[in-house]
Structure 1
Amino acid sequence: MAVKRADDPRGNLETSRGFDVWGFLLFSHGWTWLWWSVPIAFGWHAFRFPGIVFLVVGGLGVTLGGVVMSWQVGGRAGLADLGRRLVDVRRIPIRWAVLSLILWPALALVAAGAAMADGTTQPMSAAPLVDLLADPVALLGTLAVIFLLGPLHEEIGWRGYWLDRLQLRWSALTASLVLGVAWAAWHAPLFLMVGYFGSWDFTPDLAQYALATVTAAVLYTWLYNNTERSVLAAIVFHFLANATGQLLELSSEAQVYQTVATIALVVVVVLWWGPLHLRRGNERPLPPT
């Protein structure tokens, strides 16, 4: 049974059994975990052949989920809507564009400052960034890899498709938390893959990573809902988050402060905007389910 909705720009099909929500997970998690399980089982290095093939192809699960389900739910109009939100810079007000560019570096600096005030002698190292600045080709290559291995292909699914479907059912806060848990779980096999985090000289703690991901999902929704559902804004935000984490190395103490600062910001955002929308009050509310 399907219900058509003429007032919903995010697609005109909802299924009474929720296939528009859980169907996405078949692609995002089912596809990805199937492919990633192979190099994990055989102990192949993530960035060497043949492991890298399974890493890259498996990572496309979120992209496939976003594209296929956008077409399944909204047809050609759904795909066209996704395409517009990927490239239309006019959706992003200047203040939100600035926020998407500076928030993650600012949180890292705040965390480093707090750790230093607490007695940490070297809370942050910019050595990876400094080394790359001396080699522009290597810098561009690193930034391209960061961009392609996460922000671009993931946001087509997470914010490009799934967040809208979740917000049709739940408040923006609940939808963010659900997405955050699924997002963290999707990445979990990477912690078992030989060489993945080691290649970046970066091995996060799984529990802290999961907490940071779920918390960050609220901020992504806040940005997304205030930029007319811009996937482009989410991609830039995701890129700056990953680039900051890999080019500005925080000590373990500073990482704790960064998590605390992010949670504090989320609390402020939820209290100020409200858990229902995390958006400006003069915008049209989400259609009811």
Structure 2
Amino acid sequence: MTARSRLADRQGFDVWGFLLFSHGWTWLWWSVPILAGWHVFELPGLVFLIVGGLGVTIGGVVTAWLVGGRTGLSDLGRRLVEIRRIPIRWAVVMVALWPTLTLVGAATAVVVDGANQPVSAAPLLDLLGDPVALAGTLLVIFVLGPFHEEIGWRGYWLDRLQRRWSALTASLVVGVAWAAWHAPLFLMVGYFSSWDFSPDPSLFAFNVLVGAILYTWLYNNANRSVLAAILFHFVGNATGQLLELSQTADFYQTMATTGLVLVVVVLWGATDLRRDGERPLAPY
């Protein structure tokens, strides 16, 4: 551990300093279109939406450099690109978990409530007929959340939190901050309406909080791979966009996810959420 890192640990800057960028930067930029009443997918609102959303990315990169210097940035960069970090079994979890939970929610709605159409694949089927539109949609989904957010949440912050607390506690701290970071989106003109859905804020926050535990579970077992977290985030967002659940099926999916989290915590333990019991720590 370098002198710089020891100072950051002692003063807590490695934890709260990240929030200055992630939330301070984002909320400052996002407050402008909210107060002005601009549509966020039209100019000039779009500029503030995009630039503001970079707060988590900036927080991850800048704080990694302030705390760890070149070592911190190098470590972050490697974990962004090294595919070999991800064990095959965890790659399967990364790709299949969110679609599976979606189907479980839909199937439960059929069995319990006799729902006729608990899930609709209409958005996906429409895009399959237009490869360019499909690629564009997937690119937007990737850029608007998974890539830039995970550089901060899991790429930097989760490691620092796990130095202080158990994996479960660190996950809940990330989950609360993550949900709060998204809060201004519910006040923006045109954000959720442009995606043809408007989630309930309380349910959204709960899903983020519960989901954060699964992200830690995957991240810790994928050798701190930021790439794994990004792809996991991407599959989750894409599944939600392209497969539309009914309100009842969505509720059952939330219950299934919560049940899975409880199983994960019981089987792997709240301390590390890791098979071998070895706590993964940043090298700085």
| Fold shared by both chains (TM-score > 0.5) | yes
Q: Deviations over 1:28-83 (max 9, x none)?
A: 00000000000000110110000000000000000000000000111001000000
Give the equivalent residue in structure 1 for 2:186: 191
Provide closer, same or farther for how the CA distance between residues 286 and 276 of structure 1 changes in structure 2, counting only shifts above 3 A: farther
Tell me how far 1:282 sits from its aligned partner: 5.3
Equivalent pair of 1:143/1:243 in contact (CA under 8 Å): yes
Q: Give the Cα–Cα distance (whole angstroms) in 1 for the partners of residues 268 and 95 of structure 2.
A: 21
Equivalent residue letter for 2:93: L
- The alignment covers a number of residue pairs equal to 281
Give the equivalent residue in structure 2 for 1:164: 159
Equivalent residue letter for 2:84: R
Give the equivalent residue in structure 2 for 1:181: 176
Q: Deviations over 1:209-260 (max 9, x none)?
A: 0000000000000000001100000000000010001100001001100110
The equivalent position to 1:263 in structure 2, one of 247, 258, 262, is: 258
Which residues of structure 2 form unaligned runs of 5+?
A: none
Q: Give the Cα–Cα distance (whole angstroms) in 2 for the partners of residues 235 and 29 of structure 1.
A: 20
Give the equivalent residue in structure 2 for 1:34: 28
Structure 2 residue 106 is the aligned partner of structure 1 residue 112: yes
Equivalent pair of 2:29/2:48 in contact (CA under 8 Å): yes
Which stretch of structure 1 is more off in the superposition, 72-81 or 118-127? 118-127
Tell me how far 1:110 sits from its aligned partner: 0.4
Q: Give the Cα–Cα distance (whole angstroms) in 1 for the partners of residues 189 and 280 of structure 2.
A: 45
Structure 2 residue 128 is the aligned partner of structure 1 residue 133: yes
SS in 1 for 2:8: strand
Structure 2 residue 209 is the aligned partner of structure 1 residue 214: yes
Equivalent residue letter for 2:30: W
Equivalent residue letter for 1:52: L
Provide closer, same or farther for how the CA distance between residues 199 and 286 of structure 1 changes in structure 2, counting only shifts above 3 A: same
Cα RMSD (Å): 1.5
Q: Give the Cα–Cα distance (whole angstroms) in 2 for the partners of residues 220 and 175 of structure 1.
A: 11
Q: Give the Cα–Cα distance (whole angstroms) in 2 for the partners of residues 132 and 275 of structure 1.
A: 41
The equivalent position to 1:55 in structure 2, one of 29, 49, 53, is: 49
Q: Give the Cα–Cα distance (whole angstroms) in 2 for the partners of residues 69 and 203 of structure 1.
A: 33
Equivalent pair of 1:171/1:275 in contact (CA under 8 Å): yes
Structure 1 ranges of 4+ moved more than 6 A = none
TM-score, length-scaled by structure 2: 0.96
Provide closer, same or farther for how the CA distance between residues 84 and 12 of structure 1 changes in structure 2, counting only shifts above 3 A: farther
Equivalent pair of 1:180/1:214 in contact (CA under 8 Å): yes
Structure 2 residue 8 is the aligned partner of structure 1 residue 43: no
Give the equivalent residue in structure 1 for 2:236: 241
The equivalent position to 2:148 in structure 1, one of 143, 153, 158, is: 153
Tell me how far 1:5 sits from its aligned partner: 7.7
Q: How does 1:77-96 map to 2 (within 5 A)?
A: 77-96=71-90
Structure 2 residue 225 is the aligned partner of structure 1 residue 230: yes
Equivalent residue letter for 1:161: Y
Q: Comparing both chains, which one has the higher relative contact order based on Cα–Cα distances under 8 Å and sequence gaps of 6 or more? A: 2
Structure 2 residue 116 is the aligned partner of structure 1 residue 121: yes
Amino-acid identity (%): 71
Equivalent pair of 2:186/2:201 in contact (CA under 8 Å): yes
Q: Give the Cα–Cα distance (whole angstroms) in 1 for the partners of residues 243 and 80 of structure 2.
A: 28
Equivalent pair of 1:223/1:234 in contact (CA under 8 Å): yes
TM-score, length-scaled by structure 1: 0.94
Equivalent residue letter for 2:95: L
Q: Give the Cα–Cα distance (whole angstroms) in 2 for the partners of residues 275 and 286 of structure 1.
A: 16
Tell me how far 1:14 sits from its aligned partner: 3.3
Q: Give the Cα–Cα distance (whole angstroms) in 2 for the partners of residues 5 and 221 of structure 1.
A: 28
Tell me how far 1:120 sits from its aligned partner: 1.7
Equivalent residue letter for 1:143: L
